[in-house]
Amino acid sequence: MPTYLLRRVGQSLLAIFLTLTTVFLLVRLAPGDPAAAYAAPTASSAELDRIRAQFGLDEPLINQYGIFLRDLFTGNLGTSYSFHAPAFDVVMDRMPYTITLAVAAITVTTVVAVPLGVWMARRADTKRELGANVLTITGQSMPDFWTGVMLLTLFAVLLPVLPASGFTTWSGLVLPTVTVAVLQLALVSRLVRREMVTALAAPYTTIARSRGVSERALTWSYGLRNSAVPLVTALGTRFAALLNGVVVVEVVFGWPGVGSLVVRALATRDYPLIQATVLVTATLAILVQLLVDLAYPLLDPRVRLGKAA
């Protein structure tokens, strides 16, 4: 187990390093000039050269990479061109918003999708389930920018009960959370339904029924417990994705999270800010994945970490 953990942490560090290197190269290969984005539209080419030198972009690529690595290991991710502040601090200012929205959305998703999936599994292939199916498929098919704008129109404009934008009060969390959750809900509830149908049809469920175990215990103890591994995997993956920011929803609701930050960083070719965002979000995503993996042996005793299946 400690060996496994050590190896996984090593793998994670390598993955983060490779991601950073890839991003470092890609942003510089992509068309666009940070100096041009930074300078006034009327700036002369001498001025642009001066800005490039200031950002260290006049050096050969390999030297830039060397400097980037040296700074990285001293914990310096550079200064954001547009915020004139350490890029890492700019990202960390946004992280609480992103984490809040991600936690809220995944909580709502779990609280609604698990009972809904169980409800559908218990009524698999009946007319009533068909109704739930239509709802979840509709939820899955609605693009989030559309859902967001519709919710905004309904609950902030026509029936102004909730704030339309920003995060000044907790009520501001409601609409973005619902918008994100609607999409996740459909996916997760259908997964719960599929896994539960399998578990409820399994011989061990029938045999448990034969010894008088109640339908309630069969559903929650036998069914859901045996569906836990795929469910936790799905929730973990969804959560990790949400931590990378939900660009569209953040833009629609003026949510000050990492998603909208990354859009701005890309638009201004703010290389240090892009790299810092990638470092923070990739680290978080990998951490969540590691926690999910560590949970497997607790959820299924047949799983032994570090052993081939």
Partner 1 sequence: MTGQSPLLDVRNLQIELITAHGVVRAVDGVSFTVGHGETVTLIGESGSGKSTTAMGILRLLPEGLAVLSGSVRIAGRDVVADPAAARGVRGRTVSLIPQDPMTALSPVHTIGRQLGGAIRLRRPGLSRAQAREKGTELLAQVRISKPETHWKTYPHQLSGGMLQRVLIAIALAAEPELLVADEPTSALDATVQASVLDLLMELQERTGIGMLMITHDLGVARLVSDRIHVMKDGRFVESGPADRIVERPAEPYTRALLAAVPRLGAWDEGEPAVREAASSPARPPGEEPR
Give the residues lining the site for partner 1 (CB under 8 A): 201-213, 221-222, 225-226, 228, 299-302
Task: Check: CB of residue 308 under 8 Å from CB of residue 4.
Answer: no
Q: Which is nearer to partner 1, 64 or 133 (CB)?
A: 133
b/e code 10-43 from CB counts within 10 Å (16+ = b): eebeeebeebbeebbeebeeeeeebbeebbeeee
How far is Cα 109 from Cα 182, in angstroms, rounded to an integer?
A: 8
Could you tell me the smallest distance in angstroms from the CB atom of residue 109 to partner 1?
23
Q: Which is nearer to partner 1, 42 or 210 (CB)?
A: 210
Q: Which is nearer to partner 1, 149 or 299 (CB)?
A: 299
CA dihedral 262, 266, 271, 272 (to 10 degrees): -20
Residue in the structure block whose two tokens are 């940070």: 34
Could you tell me the smallest distance in angstroms from the CB atom of residue 133 to partner 1?
18
Could you tell me the smallest distance in angstroms from the CB atom of residue 201 to partner 1?
8
Could you tell me the smallest distance in angstroms from the CB atom of residue 222 to partner 1?
5
Looking at residue 86, the DSSP 8-state letter turns out to be B
Tell me the backbone φ, ψ of residue 284, rounded to 5 degrees: -60, -45
125 class by beta-carbon count within 10 Å (0-12 exposed, 13-18 middle, 19+ buried) = exposed
Q: Which is nearer to partner 1, 34 or 223 (CB)?
A: 223
Could you tell me the smallest distance in angstroms from the CB atom of residue 114 to partner 1?
17
Q: Which is nearer to partner 1, 128 or 225 (CB)?
A: 225
